[in-house]
Every structure is written in structure tokens, then in C-alpha cells.
Structure 1
Amino acid sequence: MAELELRELYKTYYKNRKPVEAVKNFSLTCKDGEFVALLGPSGCGKSTTLRMIAGLEVITAGQILIGGRVINNLPPKDRGVGLAFENYALYPPLTVYENIAFNLRARGVKQEEIDRQVKHIAEVLRIKDLLNTKPGALSGGQKQRVNIARAIVRRAEVLLLDEPLSHLDGKMRQQMRTEIKRLHIDFKNTTVLVTHDQLEAMALADRIAIMKDGLLQQYGTPLEVYNHPLNEFVAGFIGEPPMNLFTVNVEAGDGEKQFRFKETDIHFKVPDRYRELVREGQSYRLGIRPNDVKVVVGEGQYSLALKVAVFENLGEERRIMIRLNGSPMIIVMQERYRLAPGDIVHVYFDPERTHLFNLVDGTRIQ
């Protein structure tokens, strides 16, 4: 295994003779044996970054190092990487055995060793009984296991996974997430996963690199990006359901600063942690996660009386949707309340679980 380091990577395309920067000044380090997810919406540059690591895209500027060795100009086969694509990329005429063995044969590995390695990885991935089957007869989950087996059997220093679960249904995705996590624990490959699914990234990765418009927004552990998002984009992207975000104005009231939701009469005391950071007459973006909003009995300085718009009973949890001047607020609760649209509930904001962002550039204030 080896450490992967990206130093100030840039990738520029030309569209209609105009430059388009797909990746800009991107730097991070994936430690030896670490599992890192590149996460972001479509078009953010995550797959382009992975393809530059694999050698399938030419780097415009910057450096890629694996084990301290610069690999910018090396062909893909000499980079020490294994790549599993989202579309499986299996050879239809070949059996599962031959698909897994293909790269080993290309490297001149002896047949006895090929046989040993293929059977070992097939047993680990629970596809040993499929070795004589051709890809056309496999399910989506089975194809993805073969796809991952081909990448792992190369004993690559860095394993690259390009949205490997995107073609699977919900139940199979969950099963394959567990399989990939188990494989990482067993093989301890330095692994980079590209995904647009934040639940996938949170479940699998040791650290997550969140991207937007080719730029790295935040790099940290799942708990760091969830509990301490550096900007409004990360706050809204991480979490299911996503963080509730509202524009609030700071006003004077009852001798203390108040947050008033934009274009409403709904207001509450500015939490002590923000008192010296906000100014009267200024507007900010206030965030709170659905799990941190509580339905309570009675009023308080951080509770609001609001009308239920939608109530969903999902079995293990219940979700309430409330509209604040057209902006939805989602509440997730475990209590077995039964509510209906139009009911009035008292909602409590835990002041220590709120997040405040600059209205202009979205950066975190605290």
C-alpha cells in the first residue's frame, strides 16, 4: 500500500475554444491504507480528479504522487492503481475467471499463481461459484463484485472506485456498501471512492473531500463535515434529510438581539454564542439539522409555535414539514406522535446545535 498525494491539481478543457476549468487548485493527502471519498454533485470535478490519478486524463498542472513517487507522466499500467468503473467494463465473451485473470495474464504471471489468486479473491468476494459463468448471466451486484475483484487482484497500491454502486437498486447498494467496507478492512488498500451519494461516503470513508465547481470545499472525517461544515454548501449537501437553512435578520427586541425569519413575524433570541458576532440590521443564513429540532410542550425563548404542513410516519421515525414563508423546515423525531396538516406544534431550536453562515459568500461564522 502507499500514500496518495495530490498537489495543486488543475484540469482545463476547451469548449468552443474557451477554457473550462474542471478542477482547480486541488490538494489533499490520502494516507497509507486510508479510505477517502470524493463527494459532490454532477459536474463538480470528482470523476475528472479520479481519472487524472488513474492516468486516463492528462493533468493541466500540479503533481500526483503515490508512495512519494511522482506519477504524472506514467502510463496507467505503471502507476500502481486498480480501477473499478461504474459500468462494470467486463469482457462479455470471457468467463468470470478469465475476466479476473486478464490483467494477471497481461503481466506474465504464471498460471499456477493466477489460479491461486483468482480463486482466493473469488472466495473473498463470494463469487467462487460463478467463475465459469459469463457476464451476461450475472446480476448487477454480481457484476460489480467481479469488477471490484479485477481491480483488487492486481495488488495495486491505490484502489480507485468510480461510482461502483450507482447502477444497483437500494437493497443491493446497501449490501455492496457492507462488502466494500469489509474488503477494505481485510485488504487495507489505500482507496479513493468517487460518489454523489453522501450516505455512501459517510458509511464508507475515513475522510471525505467535498467538491463544488472543481474546488475542494472541505476535507475531513464524516463527523467533522457533518457537525462542523465550513460553508453553507457543505452544510446543505451533507445529511439526510439535509440541513434546514433560513435567511434571518438581526433586530433589537426586549432589550436583546433577536433573529427574525425573513419576511415573517417569527423570531427568537439570538443564542449567546452568536451575540458578539452578529450586528443589528444585518442578515445571515441560519442552519439547523432536522434531528436537532424538537417538538416540545409549551413555549420558551428558543421555541416557536408553528403549523404542520406535512406529516410522514416512516415507522422507525416521523417527519414533519413546516413552511416558513415558503421555505420548508423538516423535523425528524423518534417520538410516536400522530399529527395532521394544520396542527400547531411548539418547535424547539437547540441553540448549541445551530450553525451560522455569511449571507454573501456562505462561509461559516461559527
Structure 2
Amino acid sequence: MPQPKGSKGRVTIIEIADAAGVSKSTVSLVLTGRGSVKPETRQQVLQVMDRLGYVYNRGAANLRNAQSRIVGLVLNDLSNPFFAEFAIGVEKVLQMAGYVAFMANTAESVVRQEQVMRMMREHGAGGIILCPALDTRPEHLDWVRVADTALLVAIRRLPGVNVSHVVPENLAGASRVTRHLVNLGHERIAFLGGMHSMVVRQERHGGFLAAMEAAGRAVDPALNLESMPTRDGGFGAMSAVLSLADRPTAVVCYNDVVAIGAMLAAARHGLVVGRDIAVVGFDDTSEARHVSPALTTVAVDPVGLGERAAALLLKQINDPAIEPESFIGPANLVIRESCGAYQRALAAAG
């Protein structure tokens, strides 16, 4: 049922009705989704609700006392093992603090993202940890801040949004893994995966470019291919660069999932990863350690990032006046077989 106006001065449906110039019953119909309301009237009521920061609490009768013990966890791609590990870290801290996580997967849909975030607020979530979907813009989160909801953005930084952030050290990590390939003697190196609109892609590609420039290596635009950050995306991008007459000898991938797709494409083309071509990833998921050959990558500790995200959000819930904080997690190079370092070492020793 709708929230009544109480001691905390919460907005009532009567105030919504007055501001929108409609009846109380019309507001109720918009909230419940029952009955017939003209689309333009519905939109007018929803805009007033956003402006006044009104939140419809469907479980007010039985969740009012538990409101502060619920946290929303909104993930952009749960099929990526990285986000599963991140969620483990979040839930570990929340459970220790006596909180319950409501988790949702948006599958990179901004529309789905808004739906699940509104639903979480309606059901009493006192805060939300958001791993933003592709193409999320600052204005998409305006209603959350108006509704006075604790919000933390994780993994994908959103410039222009004044909330706490927890992200990995993308630029430095990509620079480290690229320097490693340069030191192994590679000159023609590709960067595959991620979409240009993604801040993470911009940062990781920026680290790649910085390392190539510092080493005096030329960067061929034909070897810079975007793709969705998925296994299929990596497979397609790798297939494209391998079809070039002058193909790369090494590939830096946006993340481990893209890298594993790239390794599958290399095998399809009859190449042995780690011998005929070097492939490296980013994230160091558990899958990276178990593929064959094992993937050289950048470790960012997704579980630890999840723990830090949960801790910062709980801090904000407990003290709403606290200033937003940013945490940049370290990114460390992990050398395994896929880059060919061991093959080169053995050849040098022989």
C-alpha cells in the first residue's frame, strides 16, 4: 500500500495528486497498474513522483521494520564469472552485517535496470549496489538520488554521478599486461573487445596505447576491434583479425571472457595459443586459471571488490550525510601459459 506521510515527512499520494492536478484515485491506479489511465496522465503522475522523490512501498505492512536490512545488487551480466565472484564478495559482507541482498541481472539493458531498481526500492531496499548496464547515463539515476536511496556504483565508473565508486585499476593494469607482451618481443599487438562507449573499455584501451607508445610500437587501427564483452564477441573479433593478411602475433583482450572466446577462435584457425599467438585477458576469474592453456591476465580480485563495495554502501546507509568515497582496486599481472612466456624461456634455455 502507498506510504503515508509520517514523522519523516514522506510524500503522500494526496501531495502527488495535487502536484499533478489529478485525483487521488488516479494516482492509486497509476501505482497499482489497475484500471484505465490515459498514457499522458500516467506519464505526468510518474514525472511528479520522480520530482518529489516518492517511493511506492508494496511491502510496507510487513517490511517497514526490515527496510534498512535489505540491499539491492544489480548486475549487468551475471553470465560473466567475474560478476558472480563479485556478488560472492558483496553477500559475504552483507551477511556478516545482518543484511539480505536482492540480486537482479539486467543483461546490459538500461530499461531492465530501471525496472529492477524501482522494484527494489518499492520492496524496501535501503541501498543499491549498481554495476551499470551498457549506455547507462547520469540522468538515468536522477530518480534514485531524489528518492534518497543509498547508491554505490561498481566496476564501471560513471563520470558525472556524485556517488561512491568501487572500480579496478583499469589503465595501469592494461599497461602492465601490454608491456609484458612488448618485453616478450611482440610488435604487432591487437586490442579486442568491449564497446567504445564503455568507460572501462576506454581506460583499458588507454593503458594499452600508453604502453605501446612508450615502447615505440606502432598501433594499427585495423587491430583495434570492438565487440560485446562476451565469449561470442571475443570469438568474432579474433576471427576478424586472424583473417588479415598481416595478422597480429599477440592480442590484449578487454576481459577474460573475451580472451577465452579469442582462444577458441585461434584454435578454430589451427593456431596453438602460447606458441603461435599470445592471448592475454583482464580480471583473473576462476575460469582463467582452468582453461587450457591457462590464461595470462590481470588480477583485480572481484571478490575483494565486492566486499569493499558492500562495506562502503553500509557505511552510507548508516550515515546518509557521509561524503561519497572512491576505491580503486589494484591490478596485478599474472603470467601463465597463454602469453608464450614459458615457451620462449624454454627456447632461450635450449
Give the TM interval when normalised to the shorter protein.
under 0.3
TM-score where L is the length of structure 2: 0.28
Q: Which structure has the bigger radius of gyration?
A: 1
Higher strand share: 1
Higher helix share: 2
